[in-house]
Structure formats: structure tokens, C-alpha cells
A and B are shown apart, each in its own frame.
Chain A
Amino acid sequence: MLKTSTPPHRSLPFLQKASLLAGAGFLALAVGCNRDQVSHFRVPKEAPTAGSPMAAMGEAPAGMPLAEGDMPAPPRPSGQGSLKWSLPKGWSEATGEGMRYATFKSPVAGRNEATVVVLPGPAGGELANVNRWRGQIGLGPIDEAALAAARVVVKTKAGALNVYDFTSEGQTKSRMVAGLISTPDGNTWFLKLTGDAGPVAKAKPDFMRILESLRLD
């Protein structure tokens, strides 16, 4: 008769087992240690619209609303040099939060909003700003000639105001009506009406009346 013999108990010696266990624990902890250090990259210069801090903020996490802080913080002008305006019936004004000088609420239903931002100096120039606005609604940049063609000059008591009106392509069309004007104290004022193309079209006549009413304080 054949007998099956029980194999001798040959598990690892205690010390070996303990050191293996401790080693595994330390390895897991060591993996968790992450060193912070300054890193260096040499990269080709970026195109103005590509990956600018503004773009980085606006594009980053999926579904995040575009941050309004796409401009440097402006000094809040007061007294002589600041602009005044008159609001049409049904419109209301709120003091700006964060980087905005003021926000207008129109009585038109749907996504539309008007904002006022003021920046010191030429704020990068007209072409750069117009191209930045176009980028915000998914349009490509334009050159000086196209800029001049797109410009509508509105005469106000505060001086000439350059107004642009752009509508995006795609299924849900966005529209932006934006004006900019320099004041004698050297600041540049930006007044923008943005939103879905339909509501913006309805709010535009009133917004243009606000632009026409601009005057110096």
C-alpha cells in the first residue's frame, strides 16, 4: 500500500518573514514621499492665444465657467477721468466684483450680460484685445486691415468709442458686442455685452444707447 507522506512544514524563518513584512511597509511609505522642487523647461514661445494664462484659466477643468479675471486688476478710477453712463429703462447696474468695474443686467431673458472693465494704459492694444475677445467665442485672430473693417466708431461726449460686433460659428452661436475707449487719465475702458446670439441681438439696441450716453465725470 502506498502512503502519502505529509510534507514537512517549511515556511520561512521568523526573522526573514518579519524583515520582508517591514520592508514591504517601508517601501509603501517611501513611495508616498514626494519631493517638491523647482523644475526647468526650455519651450518654444507660445502663440498669443495658445495657453496664455487667460486660456489656461478658462479652459482648464471641463465644464468650468470661464474666469472673468482674464485681465490684470485695474485701479478703480474715481473722480475726474472716470466714465459715466445712463441706463435705459429696465436695465440695472451692480457694482463690479473682483476685476469688474460694473455689471449691467438687461431685462432681456436668456444668457446675456454686460460688463465694464477698466485697465491702466493701452492694456495691450486694440488688436490684441479684439483678438482675445474673438478667441473667447471661438473665432480666429484678425489683422489690422480686418480690424479696421470690423470697427464701428460711436461718437460720445467722452470721445470716440470703437465698437466691434462678433458672432461665433457652431451650433449654439455666441455673440459679443464690445466697445473700448481711452480716457484722458490714460485708462482704457472696456464695455462688453456677451451671451447667446439671440438674447444679445435683443439687448443690443439698448446697449448701444448706453455706449452713446458715455460721458466723463
Chain B
Amino acid sequence: MIKTLASRIWAFFKSFQLTIVLLALLMLLVVFCTLAQVELGTAGAVNAYMRSFFVWHQFSFLSFPVPTFPGGGLVGLMLTLNLIAKTLDIQRSWAKAGMWLVHAGLVILFAGEFVAGLMQVDTNMSIEVGQTVNYVQSYKNMELAVIDTTDPTWDEVYSVPDTLLSKGGTIAIPGTPITLNVKRYFPNAELSNLGAGGQPSGATAGIGPNVAIVERPTVTNDNEMNMGSVLVEPIAGGHSYGIWLASMALGAPQSFTHEGHTYSLSMRLRRQYLPYSFTLKQFRHDVYPGTDIPKNFSSLVQVVNPSQKESREVLIYMNQPLRYEGKTFYQASFGKNDTLSVLSVVENPGWLLPYVSCVLVSLGLLVHFAIVLRRSLKRRQDKKEG
């Protein structure tokens, strides 16, 4: 009975019909995802349709979202399993070596997309001419930065990601006596001066008591930004320092002092500090003579990496990124009258996998062709001799 069920499941996973259905679903997903970009923006649509296991929809008559279509993650996973099942069913003989290689290459290609989807980190680095920057920051993800600013030369930065804030409850800050009690997290909010009839933010310390806050639906469009805001109560040594409002809409950090240590609180785009720094020495924005049409953007940066005892100049320009320490830095944008350069930074641990896949598939096809050719020549020879 169990064996029958297991072999049925096995037959399902290796069936060619499943491949056809999954490929059809994938085509539909591509169409839906393309259309959804109008409303959600590129990143929003790709996350909702491709890099998720289900496509969720919020119906007006329900209070919770429900899955309405398999997402790219699920279809991709099923396709990979389908491919693996098919591969495992191939005979283990030299005659099938080429097929093994081709299938292994395809599995690696699928795995590469999974690695990219789940582990690729897209960030950016904005540097002004003459400025030195040692971090990259996220486009959308936020963090509550709790910074011990006491030391005159160093800052101790404790980063609480927005995903953790959204869970609420208490968050201990390791290495400090502080525990944050998250009263409320707003993924997106609009702040304004507290006027008559306004809704107070609920903060009791800092600038929060003078601010009105209204929750807004989150935005995913490329040109819009969520103003993530949080009401937190820092508690240290059994003493509450009041409820503070930290928000992306509030630029200046606010601070409190506990036992001689000054801690500032600020909501900002999530940063990843690097063991090296970039100094922008020059930014060029060349145009075709007599027009405003851009011809070239380039950033001349000084890369300083003390751990490698390295200090060198690198020119990053269009289609000529810098690959450094697992990250790729592309010239992406500029601003502030050509004194600010924005580098798009991509970190994909699986960037080599598509190349490995291509090599394996090509090799597999060649091997398979050679084997079939040899067999066919042998048959012809046999016929002659026979």
C-alpha cells in the first residue's frame, strides 16, 4: 500500500506531463509579473510573483491574504525536483554520460536562480566627491540604528532590522544593558506636526510627542519609499527612558544617556558595513558635444582595504563594474550637480553557477554526440563486416 503510494508519487515527480504543466505555469507567471510591474514596480512584482512560493491576494471580504496562484519559487522548486527525478532515472552507464552532464547542468542552472532569488543582495553606495564611505545600504529595507556615540573616535552601531521590529515584543541589544520594548511598528507612515484634532504618535520622549502619525499602505514602486516608523521604549537597568518615535521621515537622530553612555536612535535604510572603504576622487558626466545626451558616466574611486594592505585607484564606468570581495559595483546614477555618484552593488554568492551550468550542458551535448556518433559508426562497421 505504502509502496504503491510512494511509487505513484515518484511517477508523478518524474512525469513529463508535470514538466509541461510547470512550464505553462511559468509562462503565465511571466505574463502576470510583467503586467504587475505597472502597479508594483520592478522589484515589487518580481518579489510578489517570482521570488515567492505563492502569489497572495487580499480579497475585500477576507481579513487575511490567500494564495491564489503558485509563485515562481514553488514552480521553480517543482521543476527542479522534476528534473532531478528524471536525472536519477537515467541509467548509470557510460553510454548515458552525456545525458547525465546535460541534466546536471540544468539542475545547477535552476539552483543558481534559487541562490540568486534567496541570497542575492542588492544594495547601493552613494558617495560625494571627496567623501569616504565604508558601507552599502539597502534600497528598501530599513533598520533601527541604536548607536553608542560615547567614544570620541568610534561609534558602536547596533542594527535592529525592520523585519525584527515588525514582530514586536522586546528586543535585547547584545553588548549593552538596553532592551527595546517595541510598542508599535509602522511599515509605512505619514508624519506631520501635531495640530488640533491630530492623532498623537503615542511617544512620550524626544520629538515624538509633537508629531502626529498616520499609518499608510506600504509601497513597492521603484520611485516611492516607505517611511518606516517605530515606537520603542528603551529600558536599561530597570529604568524606562520613555517611548520614542523613530522614523524614516525624521532625519536627525534622538538620544538618551544611560550610565555615562549616550545612545542615539534613528530609523534609516539598512546598512552593511564593509572592511574596506571607497573614496570618490572624481565623477565625470560627459555629454555629446552641443547636446545634453549622456556619453559617459564614470567614478574614479580610491579603494582602501587595511586588512589586505591595499590602496589603489579604480575607474568604474558604464558596463565596466568593479568586482571586489564578492560584490560587484556598477555605475548606476548620480546627483547633486554631478558631485554625487551612486553605485549599484550586487552580491550574489551563486554568480558562477550559470557559467558552470553552460559549460556542463555544452560538454554534455558534445559527449552525448560523440557517444551516439561512435555507436552509429560501429553499427555501420558491423553491417559492413556482417
- A residues in contact (CB < 8 Å) with B: 1-2, 4, 7, 9-12, 14, 17-18, 20-21, 24-25, 28-29, 31-32, 34, 36-47, 49-57, 59-64, 67, 69-76, 96-99, 101, 124, 135-138, 140, 168-174
**A49-B128, A72-B207 as given contacts; A63 in contact with B333, CB under 8 Å:** yes
Chain A positions within 8 Å of B318 at CB level: none
**A2-B382, A56-B269 as given contacts; A9 in contact with B91, CB under 8 Å:** yes
Report the bound CA distance from A174 to B181 in whole Å. Answer: 44
**A60-B137, A62-B332, A63-B223 as given contacts; A73 in contact with B273, CB under 8 Å:** no
B158 A40 Cβ-Cβ under 8 A: yes
Q: Pick the most buried of A12, A28, A45: most chain B CB atoms within 10 A of its CB.
A: A28
**Secondary structure class of chain B's binding surface, majority of residues:** mixed
B124 A60 Cβ-Cβ under 8 A: yes
- B residues in contact (CB < 8 Å) with A: 6-7, 10, 13, 73, 77, 80-81, 84-85, 88-93, 95, 111, 114-115, 118-119, 124, 126, 128, 130-135, 137, 139, 149, 152-161, 163-164, 167, 171-175, 190-195, 207, 210-211, 222-223, 225, 227, 247-254, 266-269, 273, 285, 287, 292, 332-333, 335-340, 342, 344, 375, 378-379, 382, 385-386
Seed contacts A31-B114, A57-B225, A72-B252; 8 additional CB < 8 Å A-B pairs: A4-B379, A37-B161, A40-B159, A43-B154, A43-B155, A53-B253, A54-B252, A171-B292
Q: Shortest Cβ distance from B7 into chain A, in angstroms?
A: 7
Report the bound CA distance from A28 to B81 in whole Å. Answer: 10
**Secondary structure class of chain A's binding surface, majority of residues:** loop
Report the bound CA distance from A41 to B270 in whole Å. Answer: 13
A31 B118 Cβ-Cβ under 8 A: yes
B139 A36 Cβ-Cβ under 8 A: no
A-B contact pairs, 24 of them (CB 8 A): A10-B92, A11-B88, A18-B10, A24-B80, A28-B77, A34-B118, A38-B158, A38-B173, A40-B157, A53-B251, A54-B252, A61-B139, A61-B223, A63-B333, A72-B254, A73-B211, A75-B210, A76-B195, A98-B192, A135-B128, A137-B336, A138-B338, A170-B339, A171-B285
Q: Kindly count the residue-residue contacts between A and B in the assembled complex, taking CB atoms under 8 Å apart.
A: 232
